[in-house]
Amino acid sequence: MIEATFNFAPGFLWGTATSSHQVEGANRNNDWWAWEEAGRIVEGHSAARACDWWEGRRWQEDFDRAASDHHNAHRLSVEWSRIEPTEGVWDEDALGHYREIVQGASERGLRPMVTLNHFTLPLWFAERGGWLQERAEELFARFARKVVSALADQVDLWITLNEPNVLAYQAYAQGLFPPGERDLGKALRVNHALIRAHAAAYQAIHQIQPHGQVGVAFHYRGMRPWPAWNPLARWVVRLRHETFNDAFPEALTAGRYRLLGRTYRLAAAKGTLDFFGLNYYTREWVAFDLRAARSGFGRGFFPEEAELSPTGFIANDPLGFWEALKWAHRYGLPIYITENGVEDSSDQLRPRYLAQHLRQVWRAANFNWQVKGYFHWTLVDNFEWERGWTQRFGLYQLDPESQKRTARHSARFYADICRRNGLASQAVAEYAPEVFDDLFPGKGPGELAWG
């Protein structure tokens, strides 16, 4: 029987990613809870219980599932509003709870990667202006110091901020995240503030844990001009790419960056990345549109032939992932895929999305690029921000009312990948046969069955 496997290096990290507000439940002291109370979540959905990780401690059974599926890592976040419920007041019980979680991960063979801020802010911090307040970087660095001091003997992989570019854009330009601003000037100021906050936290972490590895989970949005020959479309893509994709990593590696065509310098941020966290979901086409000032005069869309997720939120575009990996590689740092996945309640698209995207990860690793791990988004269906429960990214299906978990087909597929430390032809033939010929040309499923 003909067999082939895209093998990964020994020690490669395989896991899933989660965030506190999306899985914990009972999170009533942050800006996203206030956002929900104000009726800003689609269809009136609620994160009241989420995946019941906090009060019900269901992280235990979910980590059991991850371990039995041969994962060897997990990315999670801590909730600032639990640890510092009011300014300067620390909840040691909450810190102890997080210590229990990371210890539980380690005991199950899951190496923890901890994100310090995954979008949510304590109410006291948000009410004083959030990231725009004068002391934002100081307060965030103090929080980082507190968390790392408590968890340093259990954790040595840290992410300061999750998708700072998304936060600045969605919260201050588009108004979809709290505080719901639609002010491009404020969005640019928040970008600057988040760069300073990361740099301050980076120094704080290394003062406590010199050997620790610190990164950022950067969201990469692939963009192609439409039509390709149009100089205005090409200009818009260039402008959006340098502002949305390039600015943050350029600031943290070179100490200079460009936002909407203007160059800024911040020497304190230079060299404040130990690894590169890459979040990739899709790529879009961009046309010039004078009506889209808050989007840099670009209108993004998917082509008619694109293979879309159920709500049309994501197009399956693995070549866009290759583009993202090339972009990350140019910074010369170890790369962790900190998020990659697709919303798909029926689990029809996810297996082939997973197979095709992991093929690109292997391709990068096969070039001896420093790709160290892959964290699928996500383990169990969770609360997807302003989209509530309308999008299902989990390897495991969740009923939010009963809290029942059910393994999807793709959970078994990913378990096979993690067990083998590779993407095998037999597994693709079983779980994603429709893309078999693309991944293993000349070795059809029939050949695998009969030899």
pLDDT in tens, 125-153: 999 999 999 999 999 999 999 999 999 99
Q: Is residue 139 part of a domain?
A: yes
- pLDDT at residue 448, as a whole number: 44
Q: Is residue 107 part of a domain?
A: yes
- pLDDT at residue 41, as a whole number: 98
- CATH number of the domain bearing residue 127: 3.20.20.80
Q: Please say whether the beta carbons of 17 and 116 come within 8 A.
A: no
Per residue, the 3-state secondary structure of the chain, as one string, reads CCCCEEECCCCCEEEEECCHHHHCCCCCCEHHHHHHHCCCCHHHCCCCCCCCCCCCCCHHHHHHHHHHCCCCEEEEECCHHHHCCECCECCHHHHHHHHHHHHHHHHCCCEEEEEEECCCCEHHHHHCCHHHCCCHHHHHHHHHHHHHHHHCCCCCEEEEEECHHHHHHHHHCCCCCCCCCCCHHHHHHHHHHHHHHHHHHHHHHHHHCCCCEEEEEEEEEEEEECCCCCHHHHHHHHHHHHHHHHHHHHHHHHCEEEECCEEEECHHHCCCCCEEEEEEEEEEEEEECCCCHHHCCEEEECCCCCCECCCCCCECCHHHHHHHHHHHHCCCCCEEEEECCCCCCCCCCHHHHHHHHHHHHHHHHHCCCCEEEEEECCCECCCCHHHCCCCCCCCEEECCCCCCEEECHHHHHHHHHHHHCEEEHHHHHHHCHHHHHHHCCCCCHHHHHHC
Name the domain count of the chain: 1
Q: Is residue 188 part of a domain?
A: yes
16 forms beta bridges with 74, 376
What average pLDDT does this structure show over 52-79? Answer: 99
- pLDDT at residue 296, as a whole number: 79
- pLDDT at residue 1, as a whole number: 38
- For residue range 288-325, what is the model confidence (pLDDT) as tens digits? 998 888 777 899 999 999 999 999 999 999 999 999 99
Residue 449: pLDDT over 60: no
Residue 377: pLDDT over 90: yes
- pLDDT at residue 85, as a whole number: 98
- For residue range 6-31, what is the model confidence (pLDDT) as tens digits? 999 999 999 999 999 999 999 999 99
Helix (H) or strand (E) holding 42: none
pTM of the prediction? Answer: 0.97
| Angstrom distance (rounded) from CA 190 to CA 41 | 23
Give 2's pLDDT tier (boundaries 50, 70, 90): low
Q: Is residue 388 part of a domain?
A: yes
Give 442's pLDDT tier (boundaries 50, 70, 90): confident
**What is the residue range of 283's domain?**
10-420
Token pair recorded at residue 135:
């002391």
- For residue range 85-99, what is the model confidence (pLDDT) as tens digits? 999 999 999 999 999
Q: Is residue 166 part of a domain?
A: yes
Q: Is residue 438 part of a domain?
A: no
- pLDDT at residue 139, as a whole number: 98
Q: Measuring CA to CA, which residue among 183, 186, 165 is closest to residue 240? A: 165
Q: Is residue 449 part of a domain?
A: no
What average pLDDT does this structure show over 102-116? Answer: 98
What average pLDDT does this structure show over 234-260? Answer: 97
Q: Is residue 298 part of a domain?
A: yes
- pLDDT at residue 450, as a whole number: 30
Backbone CA torsion sign across 305, 308, 312, 315: negative
Give 443's pLDDT tier (boundaries 50, 70, 90): low
Residue 394: pLDDT over 90: yes
Residue 164: pLDDT over 70: yes
What average pLDDT does this structure show over 219-234? Answer: 97
Backbone CA torsion sign across 136, 221, 180, 308: negative
What average pLDDT does this structure show over 43-50? Answer: 97
Residue 451: pLDDT over 50: no
**Neighbouring C-alpha atoms within 13 Å toward the C-beta of 355:** 27
- For residue range 183-209, what is the model confidence (pLDDT) as tens digits? 999 999 999 999 999 999 999 999 999
